[in-house]
Amino acid sequence: MKSTFHHIPPIRYEGPTSRNPLAFKHYNADEVVAGKTLREHLRFAVVYWHTFRGTGSDPFGAGTMQRPWDDGSASVRNAQNRARVAFEFIEKLGAPYYCWHDRDVAPEGKTLAESNRNFDAVAKVLKEEQQRTGIKLLWGTANAFSHPRYAHGASTSCNADVFAYAASQVKKAMEVTHELGGEGYTFWGGREGYMTLLNTDMKREQEHLATFLRLAVDYKKKIGFKGQFYIEPKPKEPTKHQYDSDAAACLNFLREYDLLPHFKLNIETNHATLAGHTMQHELEVAGAAGALGSIDANTGDELLGWDTDQFPTSIYLTT
């Protein structure tokens, strides 16, 4: 495959006096701190969704991002080409890991069987690129929130067929994560919540969510997957109230349903902001419970009420 970023050399550490915009000024992966290199301390991962699937759209307009390697189609061939470009980007950046949602890397088909075939075809390329570059999968996850079938939730849906479909989708995502040597698997319940209490049986929905997670724990054991399970808290968006609203709510839920031994938390900065907390607060809550597993190190705008997923620029927050 022809190089997409052939004009850009690998990003290296050049020190704080460097004027090169494509160089690390302070992060030296080989620097030893407390007996370990920064590469070992900070296991950076590039996320597939915003980096390669974000369109730049908002509720008021269409996307503005143009990527010359992407033909805009939902074909498997385009997804495979995108995967190769993604690995070239990650390799140039020097990041040791990447993460994905299933529908980020492979297009959804007309049926679950077709979706799974598409996923397998792209996973083959992902595996080839992992072997070529040495880049590893930090964790995978299933997108059980974008398709209209999940309008009222996935595991908390009022429709048993939707619960079953979501379970099948997570099953496949876990299998591919395991096949690719993923070190973890994340659950984010984007629509596991409610818009109004008028048509919500909260206790029943949370029991269904717990059942769903128990099934995942059982299947993890069945296939021999040794990776860590994570839950990512977020209070709202797209639903009005999500059951995984913040670190404390997640821990309470996991304790209530005897799931805490199987899960840790993946804490995201912007989600902490939406919950009315600082990132330091959420990290402290998770850490105090021995449940801090992973960090989504973005940032949000404290003056806006939605998830902007911006690149962090505050030295006080990032350090």
* Domains, the chain: 43-318 (3.20.20.150)
The C-alpha angle with vertex 189 and arms to 188 and 194, in degrees rounded to 5, equals 155
Catalytic residues, which ones?
101, 104
Looking at residue 318, its pLDDT comes to 87
pLDDT at 301 over 80: yes
- Does the reported pTM lie above 0.85? yes
Q: Note the pLDDT tens digit of each residue in 38-96.
A: 999 999 999 999 999 999 998 899 999 999 999 999 999 999 999 999 999 999 999 99
Per-residue pLDDT averaged across 96-103, rounded? 98
Average pLDDT over the chain reads 97
Looking at residue 313, its pLDDT comes to 87
pLDDT at 33 over 90: yes
Helix (H, G, I), strand (E, B) or coil at 97: strand
Please report, rounded to a whole number, the percentage of residues in the chain having pLDDT higher than 90: 92
d(CA 290, CA 224) in angstroms, rounded, equals 24
Q: Note the pLDDT tens digit of each residue in 171-230.
A: 999 999 999 999 999 999 889 999 999 999 999 999 999 999 999 999 999 999 999 999
| Helix intervals (H) in 158-233 | 160-179, 202-223
Per-residue pLDDT averaged across 252-259, rounded? 99
Looking at residue 9, its pLDDT comes to 96
Looking at residue 302, its pLDDT comes to 84
Looking at residue 79, its pLDDT comes to 99
| Helix intervals (H) in 102-201 | 102-105, 112-133, 160-179
The C-alpha angle with vertex 179 and arms to 176 and 181, in degrees rounded to 5, equals 110
| Lookup result for tokens 């309470």 | 252
Per-residue pLDDT averaged across 100-122, rounded? 98
Looking at residue 2, its pLDDT comes to 82
Q: Note the pLDDT tens digit of each residue in 128-154.
A: 999 999 999 999 999 999 999 999 999
Per-residue pLDDT averaged across 19-48, rounded? 97
Q: How confident is the model at residue 303 (pLDDT cuts 50, 70, 90)?
A: confident
User: 281: number of CA atoms within 13 Å, CB side?
Assistant: 13
